[in-house]
Amino acid sequence: MQRTVILGSTSRYRREMLSRLHLPFDVQPPEVDETPHPGETPAALAARLALAKARAVAERFPEAIVIGSDQVADLDGEPLGKPGDHERATVQLRRMSGRTLVFQTALAVVCQRTGFVQQDLAPVRVTFRTLSDAAIERYLRAEQPYDCAGSAKSEGLGIALLDAIDNDDPTALVGLPLIRTCRMLRAAGVELL
């Protein structure tokens, strides 16, 4: 008997990514406080939150295999979260213009009943081209990426803001590194394909 797979996330982007695997899964909100701890690095924050999300849902569904993920944009060690509105997105994109950031995408897979716990980090180096205020405004009006860490969606028009993306998992920048997800799900006993 295959265990139920649950995505512990409210992100529609992660839901869309996981659906690519043609695997039946449920979605549950993790209800985790995402406030950074004082002095916490972006990588540590992303890793802590991914594991906390998976564990929070696994406590409610101990028989299930639960996936938790989180992404934090890292600008010189400073975490940049989701902007939430147009003004903050404009400020973020101005700060990222002509710079290289690391999007720290963390993943955790937990099954409380079996004691299975694995987690990993999929850092993605992203170089933004130099952006004019007019380009930033046009982009934000067109895509409204206010629910995305770093204010840009590489899977859409946001790709035009970038000079380079460097990573080992092309889905990590969208928020769920599927190569690592597949590896962890197989290790937890989920049959893929």
* Active-site residue, selected from the candidate residues 33, 70, 76, 163: 70
- What single string gives the DSSP state of each residue in 99-164? -EEEEEEEEEEEETTTTEEEEEEEEEEEEEPP--HHHHHHHHHHH--TTSGGG--TTTGGGGGEEE
Map residue 65 onto helix, strand or coil: strand
Amino acid at 60: R
CA–CA gap between residue 188 and residue 186 (Å, rounded)? 5
- Catalytic residue check, 70: yes
**Helix (H), strand (E) at residue 12:** helix 12-19
Could you tell me which residues come within 8 angstroms of residue 109 by beta carbon, excluding any fewer than 6 positions away?
54, 65, 66, 67, 68, 116, 117, 118, 119, 181, 184, 185, 187, 188
User: Where in the sequence numbering do the catalytic residues fall?
Assistant: 70
